[in-house]
Amino acid sequence: MSFTKQETAVAVTTFGIAASCLGFVAPNLLGLVAAIAVAAGAVFIVRRVGPDRRSPLCVGLPSPEVSLFLRRHNLTDHFVFGTNLELVHAPNLRTGWELSKMHFEVDPERSHLPQSLSEVCDRWKEDHPDNPDLPRYQLSDVRGSNHSDAPFIEFTFESSRFSRIYPVQEVLDQTFTDLADGDSASPREAFAKVLLNLAECPLPNFLVCHIAVVTSNRQLACFERSKHHGHYYPGKWSISFEEQLCEKDLRGNFFVECIRRGVEEELGYPSGEVSDHDIRIQSVFREFWNLTTGCCAIVHLQATSDELRERWLSKAVDRSEASRLRFLDAGLLSIATVLRERCVRFVTGEVVEEKMLHPTSLYRIWYFGLAEFGARLDRALGKTNAP
């Protein structure tokens, strides 16, 4: 049996206190056994009260390809869900980060691509003269502490452009000769050791907010990505909508601003009606295949699923980015079933298998379940034969 750092601390502390107290009553082997029993009970309580990231679902979570890659590069200490490599998560998974404790700054473009990758970007730009090449912002560092009396988290972004990021994502598994001390290697392999150390990794990324939308009648909005719009996962179903960080968001809490803007542009829901209390930001991760960084968040809207559908159809500026909108029951049984069976059954009865889901969808569903149900989700999954 393995223990988390939190459980180890609880066990050691409880054992010390119990041994000291029981030493006066039973200063022998019986007292030792009793102290061990008390410590074990404390760990049991911790596991039952708080959401446990080592729940039955978490056994063998990395996809086979990701698992092989992580073992080959001795990166097995990182938490991975499917193809999502987690960078940092909120200290309280149910409430998310305290928004006032999140700090943001932007540095000028300071990273330099290796020569071969820079040439890839230059060629791509020449081949796509009609691409608007909009400014983009990539996450370049995350710093913070969850264990002090004043927990905080700081995010540093750097300015870039679409043409300096997307072309590199397309060649992550192609071989180059100038990336690994003269040896031929792909960008992914050459920089494997620092993929999760953003301050040292030269490979660029977009920052994308992945927002799970909860309606007032307790349903989750699910979007089928347009097959003719966008560069990422066309035709896949997302258990959220995705919004790239842009210049408009660079004020206050960047993530909150991005979420509010996305709600209005993608759903037609007034951004002014989304308060800080409606938003929970839970984690930041890196998606394995394209190395995009993502912010995992939840927003509660004061609209029913029918009202949200009407707004999406009539008011959403960017409605063309999704071809269909469906809804998933947000109850405990429904969420546990999605995670157990790895498919989504909409309230209409339609079923979407895992292969047709956006690769971050189950990760977001899991975090939504932890936020809404805490340890109850672990217990629901524990009663099943979860993978």
Q: Does domain 50-382 have CATH number 3.30.70.100?
A: no
pLDDT, residue 181, reads 73
Q: What is the pLDDT of residue 112?
A: 80
Pair 38, 11: CB distance under 8 Å: no
pLDDT of residue 379: 86
Q: What pLDDT score was predicted for residue 40?
A: 53
Question: Tell me: the pLDDT tens digits for 202-211?
Answer: 999 999 999 9
Task: Tell me the C-alpha distance between 339 and 174, whole Å.
Answer: 34
Q: Look at residue 30 in the predicted model and tell me its pLDDT.
A: 57
Q: List, run by run, the mean pLDDT of 10-residue segments along the chain (387 residues).
A: 44 50 54 52 44 43 85 86 91 90 86 89 95 92 69 90 95 90 88 92 94 97 86 89 93 96 96 96 94 96 97 92 95 94 95 94 93 89 54
pLDDT of residue 76: 80
Q: β-strands 102-107, 152-161: how paired?
A: parallel
0.85 exceeded by pTM? no
- Give 17's contacts (C-beta < 8 A, 6+ positions apart): none
Cα gap 346→222, rounded to integer Å: 9
Q: How far apart are CA 117 and CA 112, in angstroms?
A: 10
Q: Where are the domains of the chain?
A: 5-48, 50-382
Pick from 51, 89, 334, 316: nearest CA to 214? 334
Q: What confidence score (pLDDT) does residue 84 get?
A: 93
Q: What is the pLDDT of residue 26?
A: 52
Question: How far apart (Å, rounded) are the C-alpha atoms in residues 318 and 225?
Answer: 12
How confident is the model at residue 182, as a pLDDT? 67
pLDDT given for residue 31 in this prediction: 53
CA distance 299 to 276: 9
Give the list of residues 6+ apart from residue 7 with CB closer than 8 angstroms, or none.
43, 46, 47
d(CA 223, CA 236): 8
